[in-house]
Structure 1
Amino acid sequence: MRALAALSRFVGNTFAYWVLLFAVLAFFLPELFKPLSVAIVPLLGVVMFGMGLTLKVDDFAAVARQPWRVLLGVVAHFVIMPGVAWLLCQLFHLPAEIAVGVILVGCCPSGTSSNVMTWLARGDLALSVAIAAVTTLLAPLLTPALIWLLASEWLPVSFAALFWSILQVVLLPIVLGLIAQRVLGERVRHVVDVLPLISVVSIVLIVAAVVAASQARIAESGLLIMAVVVLHNGFGFLLGYFTGKAFRLPLAQRKSLALEVGMQNSGLGAALASAHFSPLAAVPSALFSVWHNISGALLSTWFRRMRDDANQP
C-alpha cells in the first residue's frame, strides 16, 4: 500500500506531463482512444466522488472566518471567466461549436488542481479550498444559467438538461463521497492516499477521449482554439490577482484568487460538452486541461519566489 501511495504522489506531482502525453497520443492514434468517449461522464463522477472523500467540515471554516473574501473569490470566478470567454468568442468570431465550448469551460467551477498549485505557490490554502468547494457546490445552478445566458446566441442551450447533468456528475458523487467518509471513518485514509492516482488517470482518459473524438477538427482549428485557451487562462490569472489587489488582500490571498479564478474544472466542461453539444465543443475543455496545469505550475513557481511584505496590501 505504501508503494501505491508513493506512486500516487509521483503521478499527482507530474499531472501536467501525463495529460500532455496522452493528448498527443490520442491525436496521433485516435482509433485507440475513441471507445473511451462513453466513459467520460462516469470518469468525472469518480473524480468528484474522490473530492467528496477528502472534503472536511474544517475546509469550510474559512467561509465562517472570512466570508467576504470567499464571496469575493466566488463572484470573481463566475464573473471573470465567463465574461472573458464571451469576449474572446466575439473578438475571434469563433464558429458556433467552438464558441459554446469556450464559454462552457469558462462557466465551470474552479479546478481541483488549483488547491495544489496554491499550496506550491505559498498562497492561502484555506481560502483556496473554500472557494473551490463553494464554486463546485454552486455549479449545478450557476453553470447552466451562465451557459444559457452567454451561449444561446450560438446554439440552443437547455438549462434544465445541464442542471440535471451537473447534479448527477458533480453534486451526487460529492455527497456520496461525504457519506462514505462518514461511514468508513479512518479506513478512508488508505483510499485518500491513492486518490491522486485515480484522479489523474480519470482526467487523462477524459482528455484523451475528447482529443481522439475531434482529431480531424483539432488538426483544422487546433491553433486557433489553443490561442483562445491560453488567453482565457492568462486573463483569468491576471484579473483574479488584480481583483485581490483592488480589495487590498494580502499577497498570499491574491495568489489564491489568481489560481482559483484562472483554473477551471475542465473535466466537467468536457463531459457537459460531449453530452449536450458535440465532440468539437469539448475540445476547448480538453486543451484547457492540458494548458492550465502547465501554466498553473509555472505561475505557482513564480509566485513562490515573490517576497511577502506584510506592510504591503
Structure 2
Amino acid sequence: MDNITNGATNNSMFDDVDINSMPYFKVAMTVILFAIMFGMGCAVDYLKLKENLRRPVGLIVGLLCQIILMPVAAYVIIKIFALTPAQAMALALIGVSPGGHNSNVITYLLNGDISLSVAMTTCSNILALATVPTWMLIYATIENMDEDLIIDYGSLAITLLTIAIPIGAGVYFRYKFPKRADVVPKIAAGIALVLLIIVIAVMIVVVKIPFVFSGNTILPTALLPVIGVAMAYAISWIPVLNIPQGSRTAIAIETGIQNPGVANSVLILSFGHKLEIYSNAVTLPLIYNIAQTVMMFLLIVGYRVWLCAKKDRRGISSPEEKNDSIKDDPAKTDLLDDKNLNA
C-alpha cells in the first residue's frame, strides 16, 4: 500500500452512480432491520444471556476470533493474492468490521446459541469504535499508506443502535409476554431471508453484478468469510474450552458474517470524491456481501437437509424423544422450560 492510488482503475460506470442516493430505500431497510432485530431479541432468553455474560468463555473466544482472527486472516489473504493498494485497503476494512445483523438470523436458523450471538454482535459493534481505527492504523504503519482514512464513527454508532435498541426491546417483550414472543422470531427470520433476496436483486440492478465480478478480487474476498467460519469453529472446538455445540455455531457464524457496510462507509467518506479509487475498492465489500449471503444460504439448506435426514433415520415417537429433540434445538429450549415451570 505504498500509494493508495496505485492499481486504481477509472471506471466510467460509476460516473452515473450517486452513492448517497435512494434515501427512501435506506429508510425502508432501516425499518425492516429494526423489525428483524426485534424478532431476534424475542428469541433471546435473558437468563441465558446473563449466563453468557457471567461465564464469558464463549463470548471471549468469539470476540477474540472476531477482533483478531478476521483482521489477521484478511491481511494474510492480501499478501498471498497481491491485491492492489486500493483493494487491499478495502479487504482490510472488511476484516476489521464488526459483526453483521444477519449473523443473529443465521445463528437462529442453524439452532445456535442466539443469546451468545446477540451478545457477540453487540459487543463487537461497541468495540469497533476502537478496534477499527486501531487496526487500520496498524495496517497503515506496516504498509506505509499515505492516505488518511476517515473512520465513520457516526455509522458505527448508528449500527450499534440499530442492534441494541430493537434487540433490547425484543428481550423485554419476551420477558413480559413469553408465549406471544415464540412466534415472532420465526416471522423475523422469514423477513430476513426475503430481505437477502431483495438485497441481491438491488445489487444486480443498481450496481451491476458483472462489474463486481471482474478482476482478481473474487476468490480472495469470497475466501475470507469461509476461512473465518471454519477457523472460529475449529478454535471453539478445543476440548479444554468446553464450549457447547450451539455456542460453537454462534461463534463461527459471528466471526465469518461481517458488516461490509462499515467498510463501504469508510470508503465513501475517504474516497467518495475520488471515483477512480472508490470504484476500484468498492467491489470488495459488494463481493463479500454476496459471498457471505451464498455461504449462509448453503449452510442453512445443508443443515436443514441434514436435520430432516437425521430425524427420519432416528424417528421421534415418545414424549421423551420429543423433549430430547427440543433440547438439541436451542431455539426451542425456552418453550420446554416454560412447560416444565407450568407443570
Structure 1 match to 2:285: 285
The 3-state SS of whatever aligns with 2:258 is: coil
1:73-108 CA deviation, whole Å, 9 max, x = no partner? 111111111111111111111111111111111111
Counterpart AA for 1:38 = S
1:190-225 CA deviation, whole Å, 9 max, x = no partner? x9967975896599569946995687964641xx21
Structure 1 residue 299 and structure 2 residue 299: aligned? Answer: yes
Distance 1:206 1:144 in 2: 29
Q: 1:126 to 1:201 in 2, by over 3 A?
A: closer
Structure 1 match to 2:274: none
Correspondent of 2:80 among 86, 91, 104: 91
Structure 2 match to 1:104: 93
Q: 1:57 to 1:274 in 2, by over 3 A?
A: farther
Which shifted more, 122-131 or 42-51?
Answer: 42-51
Structure 2 match to 1:135: 124
Structure 2 match to 1:226: 218
Q: Answer yes or no: is the 8 Å Cα contact 1:266–1:289 preserved in 2.
A: yes
- Residues 4-15 of structure 1 aligned to structure 2 (within 5 Å): none
Q: Answer yes or no: is the 8 Å Cα contact 1:36–1:209 preserved in 2.
A: no
Q: 1:217 to 1:293 in 2, by over 3 A?
A: closer
Which 5+ residue runs of structure 1 have no aligned equivalent? 1-29
Structure 1 residue 156 and structure 2 residue 147: aligned? Answer: yes
1:241-298 CA deviation, whole Å, 9 max, x = no partner? 1110123422222222211111111233223322323243222111111111211232
Structure 1 residue 70 and structure 2 residue 56: aligned? Answer: no
Q: 1:171 to 1:233 in 2, by over 3 A?
A: closer
Structure 2 match to 1:113: 102
Structure 1 residue 253 and structure 2 residue 236: aligned? Answer: no
Counterpart AA for 2:84 = P
Higher Cα radius of gyration: 2
Structure 1 residue 34 and structure 2 residue 24: aligned? Answer: no
Q: How many aligned residue pairs are there?
A: 273
Q: Answer yes or no: is the 8 Å Cα contact 1:118–1:125 preserved in 2.
A: yes
- Residues 233-244 of structure 1 aligned to structure 2 (within 5 Å): 233-244=225-236
- The percentage of counterpart residues that share the same residue type is 21
1:150-190 CA deviation, whole Å, 9 max, x = no partner? 2553452446x4334423x32355566579889x999xx9x
Q: 1:243 to 1:227 in 2, by over 3 A?
A: same
From the two aligned structures, give the one with the greater helix fraction.
1
